[in-house]
Chain A
Amino acid sequence: MKNSWDKLIQGVRKKDIRAMARLITRVENREDGWKTAMTEIYPLTGKARVFGITGSPGAGKSTLTSEIAKELADRGHTVGIIAVDPSSPFSGGALLGDRLRMQQIFTVKEIYIRSMATRGMLGGLCQAARDVIRIMDAFGKDVILIETVGVGQDEIEIVKTADRVMVVCIPGMGDGIQAIKAGVMEIADLYVINKADKPGADEVEADIQAMLSLSSDVEGDVPPVLQTSALKKQGIQQLVSALLENPSDTQKQKVKEEIRIREEILSLMEREVFRQVRSVWENDGSLQDSVSQVMQKTSDPYTIVKQMLLNHKNR
């Protein structure tokens, strides 16, 4: 078992794409040994820059991601793309369709694309995304783009794992300010008005600028607002240059990183503690006993949890 992980990690070091792809699968599936594998991957990481791309469905994120990746590859970068789409809450399956808009880059050898389903992981998606980013980083991808639909809390959380986040808006959705959902303001480092080949882009830009100038949420660097047409390949070079620009406020970056590390430790810990406690309770039968007690109305869930935690501590 250990051996098969080692082989994959060796493969990643040797830039074997199948090894990277398989390692991602096994880590994403949380197969036994995944944390040890990530411990070995970790020292190989830290070189990649990670950019989040979020916005409403249909805003053109995938098309834009494809153009950005192509431009980055032209400039000599190696690129990893993570395209996240929701799993069906009913079947647990998923239709991952972002590649439809990325066909032109399937055969660019500097670019690796990985589609990822949310798998209803309630926060776990964030960790899984971080792991995939690290595997790509360890492989040697120096820019990683992560596309998510900017709707759910989970998706917003994922882009927070990025160094910089760009929010994609489009003209013709009525009031530009309304188009920008609550919560997005605090994560946006850059606004892109895509589909600028359609009428109304200037109005949206004016709306966003007005909002930015009046907002107290924005400290330090004011996020740039750019117009693109991913379809007509316009504004892509300017966008990529803006993305690659180093943020001037290094102090703010440091604070962001600190928050990120703290959140990661806490979320890993939360899962691990829960997993361990649960497996003890399930294995020694105390969970089943407790359920019976509540069924027989000799106890209640609140008391049960309190008692079980006490017992657990005294073990």
Chain B
Amino acid sequence: MNQKRKIRVLVAKPGLDGHERGAHVVAYGLRDAGFEVIYTGLRQTTEQIVNAAIQEDVDVIGLSILSGAHVSLTRKVMDELKNQKAGDIMVIVGGIVPDEDIMELKEMGVREVFTAGTPISAISGFIESAIPAD
């Protein structure tokens, strides 16, 4: 990553599932791809996630959800972002998400969904192309 501006990414796990491995792998992987990753850990409330994203002025919020509750958890985050006038922050989702739900997430405004087995390079490549390099 040669651009001058550092891309900042928040990786957070909303909801109650304890599957932390994927979030860890992605957080370390994105660090090694040159991003500044803020990791806030498990069991985050919507408000915690949105506050952290705003305070840290991140370019991307990455939600990791393996509980099956991705539709409702993501909707809450999207609503709270709009509520706090931060609907411009890009949101991506990773975890166990069946194909039929991916469209629904995208309709809510989620920019991309990364399911099991996605290589880190696909995630880092997507973020780099989606964030303007100014």
Contacts and interface: CB of A to CB of B under 8 A. Distances in A.
Contact of A93 (B34, B41, B86): B34
A260 interface: no
Q: Is the interface of B mostly helix, strand, loop or mixed?
A: mixed
A95 interface: yes
Interface residues of B, number: 31
A29 B52 CA distance: 20
Contact of A115 (B31, B38, B44, B45): B38
B28 A95 contact: yes
Contact of A94 (B1, B36, B41): B36
B55 A96 contact: no
A103 B40 contact: yes
Contact of B39 (A18, A100, A113): A100
A94 to B, nearest CB: 5
Interface string B28-56: 10111111111111001101100110111
Nearest to B84: A18
B32 A99 contact: no
> Contact residue range for chain A?
20 to 34
B41 A100 contact: yes
B23 to A, nearest CB: 11
B38 A90 contact: no
A184 interface: no
Interface of A: 17-18, 21-22, 24-25, 29, 87-88, 90-97, 99-100, 103, 106-107, 112-115, 117, 119
Given A25-B57, A95-B37, 12 more contacts: A91-B32, A93-B32, A100-B40, A100-B41, A106-B40, A106-B47, A106-B48, A106-B51, A107-B51, A113-B55, A115-B36, A117-B36
